Amino acid sequence: MDVHPMAAAVIAGDRRALARAITLVESARSDHRLAADALISEVAKSGRQSLRIGLSGTPGVGKSTFIESFGMMLIAQGLRVAVLAVDPSSARSGGSILGDKTRMEHLSREPNAFIRPSPSQTHLGGVARRTREAVSLCEAAGFDVVLIETVGVGQSETMVAEMADLFILLLAPAGGDELQGVKRGIMEMADLILVNKADGDLKAAATRTMADYAGALRLLRKRPQDPPDFPKALAVSALADEGLGKAWEEMTTLAAWRRETGHFARRRSEQARHWFGEDVRQGLLMRLTTPDARESMATLGDAVAKGTLTPSEAAQRMLHKLKPNA
């Protein structure tokens, strides 16, 4: 497959070509994979760079509402916005389908927005690569901002943070005075915590929750590369469209600072190194899943169980078998 026409169409900003290109990188077929690799190399030549924003939050916190309002605000500023979703859970809980267009009613109709829902099935380990490649495609297509949305479960935040320039955590106002069991590791990844639903009856609770998190963030690891007052917590209302301008201002301030200090580019190179390692690990794991490899694992496992081979001897033999041409 000659990917050049598709690459050219993506770079020209053809949205249908972009959608087809993402479908190609999502495919598990090996011939598609080869074409996808070629396509990604080709579009990389555009040299365009979006601001990649990771957004995480548990179901119901207001991600779709936030993306709708925030996205419309950016579009009103003349920016082009792409929304991608990472949903590694096969069973979607809470009824929210990430990147669901019906929940972003206005944004999905905007010619300057591109929304791609999370595919219902992806092969093991393919989620990260698929999303990274979709980000690259949107970047090449000239989107100023790429929002990568994920639910607050499992490893998905870490994955998204590893492919984003900025990582935003969206929270709901807490009922009591307890922080909502947000794991420390996740808080440490956040550049900005947005406490949503700061409106009506929930406004006071949201302000309190925001202050609690602002305090907790101050106690967390210092980041010498960032301005001293980051990471920050803000109260916003996605529904009433309040505080979103301020949130965007904070994001652009931080991004500009990191660009000036070189941290932005450094972070991207570190991420590229990370994903290289991950792809190698994934590739090795794939080799373990071939029928031959499974059989060897079973046979060598039996030998270890019987005591005819030590675990490390058997492991060495297995690794030898995994070498190409072995």
Residues that bind ligand GDP (CB under 6 A): 57, 59-65, 96, 103, 196-197, 199-200, 202, 237-239
CB of 38 vs ligand GDP, minimal distance in Å: 35
User: Kindly report the CA angle at 7 between 4 and 9, in degrees rounded to 5?
Assistant: 110
CB of 92 vs ligand GDP, minimal distance in Å: 10
Sign of the alpha-carbon dihedral angle for 144, 99, 136, 183: positive
Angstrom distance (rounded) from CA 246 to CA 235: 10
CB of 117 vs ligand GDP, minimal distance in Å: 12
CB of 13 vs ligand GDP, minimal distance in Å: 28
What is the DSSP-derived secondary structure letter of residue 225?
T
Contact in structure between 158 and 189 (CB atoms under 8 Å)? yes
DSSP, collapsed to helix, strand or coil, labels residue 283 as helix
From 62, 103, 58, select the one nearest 244 (Cα to Cα). 62
CB of 187 vs ligand GDP, minimal distance in Å: 18
Instruction: HSE, CB side, 13 Å, CA atoms: give it for residue 111.
Output: 3
Name the residue nearer to ligand GDP (CB basis): 65 or 156: 65
Name the residue nearer to ligand GDP (CB basis): 178 or 201: 201
What is the DSSP-derived secondary structure letter of residue 47?
-
Name the residue nearer to ligand GDP (CB basis): 27 or 69: 69
CB of 191 vs ligand GDP, minimal distance in Å: 19
Name the residue nearer to ligand GDP (CB basis): 200 or 227: 200
Which residue has 């690990």 as its token pair? Answer: 281
CB of 241 vs ligand GDP, minimal distance in Å: 9
Residue nearest to ligand GDP (CB): 62
Name the residue nearer to ligand GDP (CB basis): 57 or 126: 57
Name the residue nearer to ligand GDP (CB basis): 126 or 173: 173
Angstrom distance (rounded) from CA 102 to CA 87: 17
Which residues, 6+ apart, have CB-to-CB distance to 310 below 8 Å? 304
Name the residue nearer to ligand GDP (CB basis): 65 or 296: 65
Name the residue nearer to ligand GDP (CB basis): 150 or 296: 150
Provide the token pair at 214: 């602002």
CB of 96 vs ligand GDP, minimal distance in Å: 4
Name the residue nearer to ligand GDP (CB basis): 21 or 235: 235
CB of 69 vs ligand GDP, minimal distance in Å: 8
Q: Where are the alpha helices (DSSP H) in the chain?
A: 4-11, 15-26, 30-44, 63-76, 126-140, 156-161, 184-189, 203-219, 244-261, 263-288, 291-306, 311-322
**In whole angstroms, how large is the CA radius of gyration of the chain?**
22
Given strand 81-86, what is the order of strands in its sheet? Answer: 113-116, 81-86, 145-151, 51-57, 166-171, 192-195, 232-235
